[in-house]
Amino acid sequence: MNFVYLSPHFPPNYYQFCTALRSLGANVLGLADEPYNNLRGELKGALNEYFFVPNLHNYDDLVRALGYFTHQYGKLDGLDSMSEYWLETEARLRTDFNIDGLKINDLPTIKRKSLMKSMFKKAGVLAAPGTVIRSAAQARKFAAETGFPLIAKPDIGVGAAKTYKFETLSQLDDFLTVLPPVDYFLEKFIEGDMITFDGLTDQNGDVVFSSSMRYSKGVMETVNEDSDIYYYTLRQIPPDLDAAGRAIIQTYEIKKRFFHFEFFRTPDEGLVALEVNMRPPGGLTTDMFNYANDINIYYEWANIILHNRFSSAFSRPFHCCYIGRKANFSYKHTHREILSRYKEFIVAHEDISGIFSAALGNYGYVVRSPELDEVLAIAQFIQAKEGSQ
């Protein structure tokens, strides 16, 4: 198999997808804008060849690179980056080079939040009412029918970037006077906790790995309020969440891909779908899959790609929790104190890339325990601010 991995050096932990592919016999062909000498040694060792381009946004250079790979190795069998940012670029390249996987025509219902709503409806899953803003009058009419609070976000966007909450008509009107020149989606604000359905499907579209995470607060609130966040995996996936997630997978016909679906759990224990992502959850979450289950999800993904097999048994013996801290806060407990007190629970800790720091913090800890109360207590300890009781 000839597999092109786009931007294999970023995020830093994703080099393990390449090492897994190579360990199973694939030709791994790296393509990125990072000089080869800057790549970590493990990644260099996993790549059969590396094609440097000065700018990954220059599509002609990417076409030239894939043309070279085709000339040298023959038909290209796979291409991915595991990144939302490059989703459209990947689809264009797969379309132009007839590589299996998501093509350009598959993207609208995956990237546009407005079209996700129609897919949720088709799957029989409840979603918040919303509309693309075509005029100020239409937005006000929707607000009058739905009521406040409301959320506005780019119809095509990543994470919580440029997302706004309106409590009043005056706030909405202020936004409408400076409406950016892109499609914005206006939807009813849903009160509840964010919960996810995540996992991996095989080449037949069957779920071979599943997980779920609960967040201390929404990503939008974390970014807009410049606050801390933690999130943790569940040891048991609620049946209604499992059923809703699988219905969405069947509706989208997702094959040999990771998925990351976001929902709100409302105060009355209802479930409301928010959005879909056809990639792994970001940050260190793929590593959290491993720590929560004592498996190697990077290897198992490669195993699916090459052999359509998922070999590991998983029973979720641990809750695994990511806990972020931001550089602009003064925390009650030092890094040394944290490591000393909780060294038996901390399985990883590291600096977080600036691209992710607005949501995840500048430094992150990953802890695990069979007991949820234990990981939540550790999260509170790590994020406690100076002067708190």
- Percentage of residues in the chain with pLDDT exceeding 70? 99
CA distance 25 to 281: 26
Q: Are residues 339 and 223 in the same domain?
A: yes
Q: Are residues 240 and 360 in the same domain?
A: yes
Q: Which pLDDT does position 157 carry in this prediction? A: 73
Has residue 160 got a pLDDT over 70? no
Residue 57, domain CATH = 3.40.50.20
Has residue 159 got a pLDDT over 60? no
Please compute, for residue 154, the number of CA atoms within 13 A of its CA located in the half-sphere on the CB side: 11
Q: Which pLDDT does position 224 carry in this prediction? A: 72
Domain for residue 118, yes or no? no
Q: Record the pTM.
A: 0.93
Q: Where are the alpha helices (DSSP H) in 100-235?
A: 108-111, 113-123, 136-146, 169-177, 219-225
CB neighbours of residue 187 within 10 Å: 20
Domain for residue 115, yes or no? no
Please state which of the ranges 238-242, 264-268, 353-357, 365-369 shows the lowest mean pLDDT: 353-357
Domain for residue 123, yes or no? no
Q: Are residues 324 and 341 in the same domain?
A: yes
Q: Are residues 278 and 358 in the same domain?
A: yes
* Mean pLDDT, the chain, integer: 95
The answer to whether 137 touches 266, Cβ cutoff 8 Å, is no
Pair of tokens at residue 341: 């007190």
Residue 357, domain CATH = 3.30.470.20
CA distance 343 to 323: 14
Domain for residue 150, yes or no? yes
Q: Are residues 325 and 348 in the same domain?
A: yes
CA distance 267 to 318: 26
Domain for residue 117, yes or no? no
Q: Are residues 90 and 138 in the same domain?
A: no
User: Helices 59-73 and 87-97 sit at what angle, rounded to 10 degrees?
Assistant: 50
Range of the domain at 50: 2-104
The contacts found for 249-252 with CB under 8 angstroms, 24 or more apart, are 249/201, 249/205, 249/207, 250/123, 250/205, 251/119, 251/122, 251/123, 252/109, 252/110, 252/119, 252/276, 252/278
Domain for residue 170, yes or no? yes
SS3 31: strand
The answer to whether 286 touches 297, Cβ cutoff 8 Å, is yes
Number of domains present in the structure of the chain: 3
Pair of tokens at residue 47: 């790549």
The answer to whether 251 touches 123, Cβ cutoff 8 Å, is yes
Which tens digit of pLDDT belongs to each residue from 54-78? Answer: 999 999 999 999 999 999 999 999 9
Which tens digit of pLDDT belongs to each residue from 327-381? Answer: 999 999 999 999 999 999 999 999 998 888 888 999 999 999 999 999 999 999 9
Exposure string over 146-162, b if 16+ CB within 10 A, otherwise e? beebbbbbbbbbebbee
CB neighbours of residue 92 within 10 Å: 16
Domain for residue 116, yes or no? no
Q: Which pLDDT does position 161 carry in this prediction? A: 62
Is beta strand 49-52 parallel, antiparallel or unpaired with respect to 27-32?
parallel
Residue 165, domain CATH = 3.30.1490.20
Domain for residue 121, yes or no? no
Q: Are residues 90 and 143 in the same domain?
A: no
